[in-house]
């Protein structure tokens, strides 16, 4: 299970990272849904989805910092937000957006999978018959 979680984290991060680079900022949510559906246990799927979203947005910020230097822009954004010239606040909030997108997507995928059930939704057809 750990190998599958590591593989899902790596693949999910790669897919979400490429999609975010192409402008699909909500891609960690979709990747989280796929992870939530794929794993049978929410205890594993939700942290993996959250980590994939966090890494997708965080690695993109690291790459932008290396290529362009985000310090002045992050300081200006921190000042606009009312935090003085604290550059770390906008960076942390940006990483939190990625984390929350992945987490909520994985949660939704787990909830949807548990709604359908292990038999592919066939138990939903039997539900009204209990009252007869």
- Collapse the DSSP code of 72 into the 3-class scheme (helix H, G, I; strand E, B; otherwise coil) and give the result: helix
pLDDT in tens, 26-36: 999 999 999 99
Q: What is the mean pLDDT of residues 9-17?
A: 96
H or E stretch covering 27: helix 27-38
Confirm whether 127 is domain-assigned.
Answer: no
Residue 130's pLDDT band (boundaries 50, 70, 90)?
Answer: low
Give Cα 51 to chain centroid, integer Å: 7
Confirm whether 88 is domain-assigned.
Answer: yes
Confirm whether 126 is domain-assigned.
Answer: no
Nearest to 55 by CA among 90, 6, 111, 22: 6
Confirm whether 99 is domain-assigned.
Answer: yes
Structural domains in the chain (count): 1
Confirm whether 40 is domain-assigned.
Answer: yes
Q: Rounded distance, CA 100 to CA 121, Å?
A: 28
pTM of this prediction? 0.82
Confirm whether 22 is domain-assigned.
Answer: yes
Q: Rounded distance, CA 76 to CA 24, Å?
A: 25
Confirm whether 98 is domain-assigned.
Answer: yes
Q: Is the pLDDT of residue 119 over 80?
A: no
The whole domain housing 7 covers: 2-118
């Amino acid at each position: 299970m750990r190998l599958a979680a590591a593989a899902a984290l790596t693949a999910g991060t790669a897919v979400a990272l490429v999609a975010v680079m192409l402008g699909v900022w909500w891609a960690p949510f979709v990747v989280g849904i796929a992870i939530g559906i794929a794993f049978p246990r929410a205890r594993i799927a939700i942290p993996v989805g959250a980590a994939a979203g966090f890494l997708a947005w965080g690695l993109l910020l690291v790459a932008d910092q290396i290529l362009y230097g985000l310090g002045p822009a992050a300081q200006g954004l921190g000042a606009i937000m009312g935090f003085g010239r604290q550059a770390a606040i906008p960076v942390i909030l940006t990483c939190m957006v990625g984390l929350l997108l992945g987490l909520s997507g994985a949660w939704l995928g787990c909830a949807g999978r548990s709604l359908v059930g292990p038999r592919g939704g066939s138990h939903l057809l039997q539900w009204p018959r209990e009252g007869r």
